[in-house]
Amino acid sequence: MTTTLRDIPQVQKLLLEPHIAALVDRFGQDDVRDAIRDRLAELRAAILNGQEVDVQRLASAETAGALEEQLARAAKPVLGPVINATGIIIHTNLGRAPLAPSVRAQIDAVAQGACGLEFDLKTGERGRRGQGATTLLRKLTGAEDALVVNNCAAAVLLALTGLAGGREVIASRGELVEIGGAFRMPDVIAQSGAFLREVGTTNKTRISDYAGAIGAETAVLLKSHTSNFRMVGFTETPDRAGLAALAKAHDVVLIEDLGSGILIDLAAHGLAREPVVRDVLKSGVDLVLFSGDKLLGGPQAGILAGRADLIAALRAHPMYRALRADKMTLAGLEATLRLYLAPNDPMQDIPVLQRLGCTLETLRARAEYIVQGAGEGLDLCIKESAAQVGAGAMPGTSLDSIAIAVRVPGQSAKETAARLRQADTPVVGRIKDGTLLLDMRSSGAEDTPGIVAALRGLVA
Ligand SMILES: *Cc1c(COP(=O)(O)O)cnc(C)c1O
């Protein structure tokens, strides 16, 4: 007896079958109906191809199980947690800085309902947005005032639009950087309505180059951190104090785009030296711009810190209204900044800094624990590796690290990597010289169970 199209049951009937009805309770009628329709379409095609099919199986527990898996996969948020085992600590594609528990709790608290975003609880009057973060920024950087926008790119755009629009910005040829994601300094300056005047050469720019270029139309001297590259050999850039004196003498504003601003001296912790915001301001820079989610270790934000009159002008600029940060960002930033104050220890309490400073012994112990927990059937090997800070911070600096090399018999590194990305909590590693590596420095201790589960899943 051959099956015909007529034998295919109606969707409405299938929805009432007990196994399927249970799915409707969980995933809702619409999604289950769509999933069944897809399956019926496949059956129809099979029948028209002359294949023998068993329509009774449609209502079976086996089919319901397959449907459940499909529906659960579709119901999973597209943007969900991932374990960063790439070896790049601040990975822009993976959401940059992981946040500390107290920071997450504060974001959750203000997300729940109303908060005093622009409300002064003491007076009952309208208050200033981001007051908590601003107060801490002043304390931690010595700035007169500060302003928070959505990211550092927005900070650069706002500062140049507000302070140099229609006038001239002088920048060194060696600092006209492209950060990535279409952020190219000459284009941003053009977008701000300012005119770029390039000075110096690719490798050498002196104070005299700036001095020779300053004219009546000059509004801003712009210094930028060459975040994602490093020049070696015969190079020269003017020191900040010299540039600051020049700016002051000509009554123009000195702005520095630091990119990954940092609030503490990392060199004191045995890491590469990066300019500390407080020192940059002390050397006379009028306005410093930096990210909230690079080395600072907080939520995505752009921070402008410096002279009170400049901040006041930018706060009043219409573009600020379009770029200002929301309550969750401001709550997360304030809570992150608090971790820089005693009795907290930023090197321990801020996940990005904790990962930077984590000892090799700790990383190795975690790798050993993971290898033991992963069970039989895999070829796992603990090796020394090199991690990076990422997000354009400390270019060319590599950090000693420990990685687990994962081999599954009969499977390519690419296939294994793809399977780890399909785990309940996806694990993203990196392939080096044909070997899949799970680097320990870019993830945290709390990721250990997830890595073990994903590895176990490879042999299940
Ligand atoms: C990263 C970076 C930016 C952009 O910062 P976002 O927070 O990603 O917008 C701008 N300038 C420099 C020098 C940077 O390193």
Give per-residue pLDDT as tens, 362-390.
999 999 999 999 988 899 999 999 999 99
Residue 251 is predicted with a pLDDT of 97
Structure tokens at 267: 């060199």
Nearest CA to ligand 1 atom 2: 259
- Alpha carbons within 13 angstroms on the beta-carbon side of residue 297 total 27
Question: For residues 293 and 148, what is the distance between their CA atoms, to the nearest angstrom?
Answer: 12
CB of 20 sitting under 6 A from ligand 1: no
DSSP letter assigned to residue 227:
T
CA atoms within 13 A on the CB side of 377: 10
Note the pLDDT of residue 1. 58
Rounded to 5, what percent of the chain is helix, strand, coil? 45, 20, 35
Torsion of CA 190, 192, 194, 195, to 10 degrees: -10
SS3 assignment, position 251: coil
Cβ-defined contacts of 5-10 (< 8 Å, 24+): 5/44, 5/47, 5/48, 7/55, 8/40, 8/43, 8/44, 8/47, 8/55, 9/55, 9/58, 9/59
| Separation in Å, CA 304 to CA 257, 259, 274, 291 | 9, 11, 18, 9
What is the per-residue pLDDT for 188? 92
Nearest Cα neighbor of 260 from 85, 96, 131 is: 96
- Measured from the Cβ of residue 434, the count of other Cβ atoms closer than 10 Å reads 8
Q: Residue with the nearest Cα to atom 13 of ligand 1?
A: 259
Whose CA is closest to 405, among 439, 373, 357, 448? 439
> Which of 5, 92, 75 has its CA nearest to residue 40?
5
Cβ–ligand 1 distance for 291 under 6 Å, the answer yes
CB of residue 179 inside a 6 A radius of ligand 1: yes
Contacts with 439 (C-beta within 8 Å, 6 or more apart), sequence order: 85, 86, 87, 385, 387, 401, 402, 403, 429, 430
Q: Which of 151, 183, 188 to mutate to test the pocket of ligand 1 (most atoms within 8 A of CB)?
A: 183
Residue with tokens 């379009």: 322
Q: Are the beta carbons of 187 and 220 closer than 8 angstroms? A: no
**428 strand-pairing partners:** 84
For atom 1 of ligand 1, which residue has the closest CA? 259
Angle between helices 18-27 and 61-75 (to 10 degrees): 10
Show the low-confidence residues of the chain (pLDDT under 50).
none
For 123, half-sphere exposure in the C-beta direction (CA atoms, 13 angstrom radius) is 7
Please report, for residues 22, 202, 438, the alpha-carbon distance to residue 193 in angstroms, rounded to integers and kept in the order given: 60, 24, 46
Which residues lie below 8 Å from residue 422, measured CB to CB, with a gap of 6+? Answer: none
Closest C-alpha to ligand 1, atom 10: 259
3-state secondary structure of 234: coil
CA 259 to ligand 1 center in whole angstroms: 4
Which residue do the tokens 């890595």 mark? 451
CA distance 29 to 25: 8
* Phi and psi, residue 450, nearest 5°: -65, -40
This prediction has a pTM of 0.92
Q: How would you list the strands of the sheet with 393-407, edge to edge? A: 379-390, 393-407, 435-439, 430-432
What's the chain's Rg over C-alpha atoms?
Answer: 28
> What is the CA(311)–ligand 1 centre distance, in A?
19
Q: What is the pLDDT of residues 396-412, one digit of tens each?
A: 789 999 999 999 999 99
Instruction: Please tell me if the CB atom of residue 153 comes closer than 6 angstroms to any atom of ligand 1.
Output: yes
Does the beta carbon of 346 sit less than 6 angstroms from any atom of ligand 1? no
Find out whether 453 and 423 touch, Cβ atoms under 8 Å.
Answer: yes
Residues 209 and 200 sit within 8 Å (Cβ to Cβ) = yes
| Residue 100 near residue 349, CB atoms below 8 Å | yes
CB-based contact 160:192 (threshold 8 Å): yes
Between the two ends of the chain, the Cα-to-Cα distance in Å is: 39
Q: Are strands 168-172 and 195-199 parallel, antiparallel or unpaired?
A: parallel
Distance CA 325, CA 331 (A): 10
